[in-house]
Amino acid sequence: MNQLSPIQLLPARDRVAAALREAILSHQLLPGRELSLKDAAQMLGVSVTPVREAFQMLDQEGLIELRPNRGAIVLGLSEQTIRDHYELRAILERDAAASVCRNGADLSAIRQAFDESKDALERGDSLAYGNCNELFHMAIWTAKGNKKIVQTLSQLWNGLSMGHKVTRESYAQISMAEHTQIMEALEHRDAKAAEELMDRHIHRSMENILTHLSAAQNPEQKV
């Protein structure tokens, strides 16, 4: 069965937010750019309602600033915004990984996502790997058995993380190696190792994004 991008299943406001977020993260929409509800709706081919809701989401993420009766202005992505986002993910995801070990949760969905991501990487299919990468993390959250945490982490993943899916083979290789260690810790029910490995995995992702941000802001600087 072909892999489908999870974003297609999101509500309209989330799809709009993802499109605008990607434009901001890729510098198609530069800091200082003014955005009106009407113009954004026309560009994306949607009504004003999901755009208004998306603006509220992006305002909460710190990517734009709402202006009363004037739409919004692009703030861009700051190092602190990234650090805050990934620190929250690290806290929740490392706890989920440890809980799965302690609670003896069913690992079948996690293993399936892991195996599918491995197959995608071996095929050189970076898009499929990106989707499987998300499924691997989601399976761990779900196995913890806390619906509120699943909801919160899903929003975080569809937040800043959505604009930085693993697509380059070099990053996918690193990610897969880390997933392998996490999978082994889960199967050995080693809560401490699973917690530490997940924390390291999330923070490594954060550092990758900070490197990309620095390169985008300083294109002449070699890294």
Give the torsion sign (CA, 59, 21, 157, 1): positive
Question: Looking at the domain assignment, is residue 84 inside a domain?
Answer: yes
Return the pLDDT at 19.
85
Q: Are residues 140 and 126 in the same domain?
A: yes
Write out the chain's pLDDT in tens, 223 residues.
444 444 445 678 888 888 888 788 777 888 999 999 999 999 999 999 999 999 998 998 888 999 987 799 999 778 888 899 899 999 999 999 999 999 999 999 999 999 999 999 999 887 788 889 989 999 999 999 999 999 899 878 866 776 655 556 777 889 999 999 999 999 999 999 999 999 999 999 898 888 877 766 665 655 4
Q: Are residues 60 and 85 in the same domain?
A: no
Q: Are residues 32 and 86 in the same domain?
A: no
Question: Looking at the domain assignment, is residue 196 inside a domain?
Answer: yes
CA proximity to 61, closest of 18, 32, 110, 92: 18
Burial class of 104 by CB neighbour count within 10 A (0 to 12, 13 to 18, 19+): exposed
Q: Are residues 43 and 129 in the same domain?
A: no
Give the residue ranges of DSSP H helices in the chain. 12-25, 37-44, 48-61, 79-102, 108-123, 126-144, 147-157, 169-187, 191-217
Q: Are residues 83 and 175 in the same domain?
A: yes
Return the pLDDT at 217.
64
HSE toward the beta carbon, residue 133, CA cutoff 13 A: 27
Return the pLDDT at 73.
95
For residue 35, the SS3 value is strand
Return the pLDDT at 216.
62
Quick one: DSSP state of residue 34? E
* Tokens 């560009």 sit on residue: 43
- Residues 6 or more apart whose CB falls under 8 angstroms from that of 82 comprise 160, 206, 209, 210, 213
Q: Are residues 85 and 118 in the same domain?
A: yes
| CA gap 203, 180 in Å, rounded | 17
Domain final position from 74, 95, 125 = 74
Question: Looking at the domain assignment, is residue 1 inside a domain?
Answer: no
Q: Are residues 91 and 172 in the same domain?
A: yes
Return the pLDDT at 146.
94
Question: Looking at the domain assignment, is residue 145 inside a domain?
Answer: yes
Q: Are residues 141 and 197 in the same domain?
A: yes
Question: Looking at the domain assignment, is residue 13 inside a domain?
Answer: yes
Return the pLDDT at 27.
77
Question: Looking at the domain assignment, is residue 223 inside a domain?
Answer: no
Domain final position from 25, 49, 74 = 74
DSSP per-residue string spanning 56-97: HHHHHHTSEEEETTTEEEE----HHHHHHHHHHHHHHHHHHH
Q: Are 64 and 35 in contact (CB under 8 A)?
A: yes
Query: What CATH number did the domain enclosing 94 receive?
Result: 1.20.120.530
Q: Are residues 93 and 143 in the same domain?
A: yes
DSSP per-residue string spanning 124-137: T-HHHHHHHHHHHH
Q: Are residues 167 and 137 in the same domain?
A: yes
Question: Looking at the domain assignment, is residue 222 inside a domain?
Answer: no
Domain final position from 44, 74, 104 = 74
In angstroms, how far apart are the furthest CA atoms of the chain?
A: 56
Q: Are residues 187 and 155 in the same domain?
A: yes
Domain total in the chain:
2
The whole-model pTM stands at: 0.76
Return the pLDDT at 41.
93
Range of the domain at 208: 79-217
Question: Which phi and psi (to 5°) does residue 55 adopt?
Answer: -60, -40
Question: Looking at the domain assignment, is residue 38 inside a domain?
Answer: yes
